Amino acid sequence: MNPIAFVLAVLVFFAFELGFQDVLQLGPRPIAPSFVLMLAVFIAMWAKPVPALWAGLILGALIDLTWTIPRTDGGVATILGPHAMGYMLMTWLVLNIRGMVIKRNPLTMAFLTLIGGIVAQIVVVAMLTIRSLYGDPIPWDATAELLNRVLSAGYSALVAVPISLPLFALAGLFGFHHAHVRRPGQRR
Amino acid sequence: MMALVAVTLLIIGLVPVRYLGWVLWVREPVARVMTPLSAPVLSFVAWIAPPEGASASSEAVAALEQNAAQLEQLYLSEKFENQRLRAQIVQLQRGIALNPQLPVTQFAAPVIGRSSNPSSSMLEVRGGRTRGVTPNTVAVVAGVQLLGRVQRATDSTCLVLPINDPAAGQIGGMIAVDERSIDGPATLLTPTADGTLRGDVEDRRNADGNPRDTIRPGMTVRLRDENYWPANAQMFVLGTVERVETAPDSALRKVVIVRPTVDLRRVSEVVLRITDQDAQAGGTR
């Protein structure tokens, strides 16, 4: 995987994540698509296993580091780990099932975003719920969070369909050589 | 190598938050890189989909409306301050030492970032310790709408928690039954998941036993919470009454649902109000 393309994609997708989240939010509940999740799924679909796992870990860690949680006793907290572990497990899942799907299909990207997103969010909710069990001063409603996050994964899957088109077109820039499109009439 | 990093992150992810203060220092350089990136996208979004509360009328009319609202807030704030000072005089006469009243300085600061997680509405604002911002500094928007309080300040930025974030806790308010009066029924509002604030209304009765106040949708609700908010924030607008309901457990009690006058998640600029009292007066319920 081309590291420069990865860094540029991270910057662009984080800008989308932080910038479009509010306007794309569905109603008053915090249900919004995650562009970083889509990027992580895309990389997991096409990259070699080890770089893909590192990419998942880095993207998850960056999500953790840009998530500030207000503490119930005043101040804020940033917890490094939940998204990093969630995205890593999601990448592992996609790596294991990508051989069984038609990668070039935008619906595949949507499907993998849905199940990968659900798995990642279950890990996040599980880790933060464990924390709340031993009385961490963080406001946490596991049921509501899980529901909102699963719905957000579904929303991300819908948005992944149009997003997959430019991503597939740019797959060559990432160094995913096996991702080049075979043009009509081109010999096998 | 990867297994080691993963195990380390798993452990860090489960360590109690009181041991994770250092992560905030790691976060700062990351936020310094990531948050400015979203600025062009936020500007684009604000252009194509202006937040609710942004008036469709001309800029001059909007400026006049804001001016009028500010003057009204100033009037009520001074009236409240007058009442407070009278109470202080009474207390001083009883020999209780009080903090000197210091002037408020305020400056506009742009919102440069938001949390990556939609469940948190924390805003990152350009304005930090070097400009006098401390935890508990009050932030307002659109002239008179109370936005929230600073939770953490670095040298150059601060994190503001909006009043309607479920983590913000309860906030005391006063329903302005008469727009020029500071003597309205009290309400203790709790943030809900849909961005509104909900709370029971003080049941005030006349001598004949009839209800003294009639609460109607559209009435302004102002901050009146001296124990948990600094004096300079009192009488700022919390929102307007959206609905009035009957309490589920008592037909005699009323419950109000209050919505801030602007979408607090989507503000692009805030005004930070600095006093030396901020740090002393803060706290959480």
Contact, A29 vs A144, CB < 8 A? no
CA–CA distance, B216 with B53 (Å, rounded to integer) = 20
Q: Kindly list the residues from chain B whose CB atom is less than 8 angstroms away from the CB atom of residue A136.
A: 16-17
**Between residues B209 and B238, which one has the greater pLDDT?**
B238
Chain A: closest CA distance from residue B187 (Å): 21
Q: Which of residues 81-110 of A touch B (CB under 8 A)?
A: 81-82, 84-85, 88
Question: What's the structural domain count of chain B?
Answer: 1
pLDDT score for A37? 94
- Please check whether residue B275 lies inside any domain of the structure: yes
- Please check whether residue B220 lies inside any domain of the structure: yes
- Please check whether residue B15 lies inside any domain of the structure: no
Q: Kindly list the residues from chain B whose CB atom is less than 8 angstroms away from the CB atom of residue A85.
A: 6, 9-10, 13
Phi, psi (degrees; rounded to nearest 5) at B106: -135, 150
Using CA atoms, how far residue A163 sits from A38, A43, A115, B214, in Å, is 8, 13, 17, 52
Which residue is closest to B135 within chain A, CA to CA?
A: A75
CB contact under 8 A, A17 and B116: yes
- Please check whether residue B162 lies inside any domain of the structure: yes
Q: What is the mean pLDDT of chain B?
A: 81
Give B26-62 pLDDT, tens digit per residue: 888 888 888 778 778 877 877 777 766 555 556 677 7
Q: Kindly list the residues from chain B whose CB atom is less than 8 angstroms away from the CB atom of residue A87.
A: none
- Please check whether residue B11 lies inside any domain of the structure: no
B247 and chain A: CB distance < 8 Å anywhere? no
- Please check whether residue B67 lies inside any domain of the structure: no
Interface test with B, best of A7, A10, A16, A18 (most B CBs within 10 A): A18
CA–CA distance, A144 with B193 (Å, rounded to integer) = 9
Give B118-145 pLDDT, tens digit per residue: 777 888 898 888 888 988 899 998 778 8
Q: Could you tell me the two tokens for B98?
A: 């009080």
- Please check whether residue B33 lies inside any domain of the structure: no
Which residue is closest to A70 within chain B, CA to CA?
A: B167
Q: Kindly list the residues from chain A whose CB atom is less than 8 angstroms away from the CB atom of residue B190.
A: none
B6 and chain A: CB distance < 8 Å anywhere? yes
Which residue is closest to B22 within chain A, CA to CA?
A: A78
Q: Indicate which CATH number applies to the domain containing B135.
A: 2.40.10.340
Range of the domain at B209: 83-280
Share of chain B above pLDDT 90, in %: 14
Contact, B257 vs B141, CB < 8 A? no
B260 and chain A: CB distance < 8 Å anywhere? no
CB contact under 8 A, B116 and A73: no
- Please check whether residue B72 lies inside any domain of the structure: no
CB contact under 8 A, A65 and B23: yes
Per-residue pLDDT of chain A (188 residues; tens, 9 = 90+): 888 999 999 999 988 888 888 788 887 788 899 999 999 999 999 999 999 999 999 999 999 998 888 888 777 888 998 999 999 999 999 999 988 888 888 999 999 999 999 999 999 999 999 988 888 888 888 898 899 999 999 999 999 999 999 988 888 888 886 654 444 445 54
In 3-state terms, what secondary structure has residue B254?
Answer: strand
CB contact under 8 A, B44 and A53: no
- pTM above the 0.80 mark? no
**What is the number of alpha carbons within 13 Å of residue B27 lying toward its C-beta?**
27
CB contact under 8 A, A67 and B116: yes
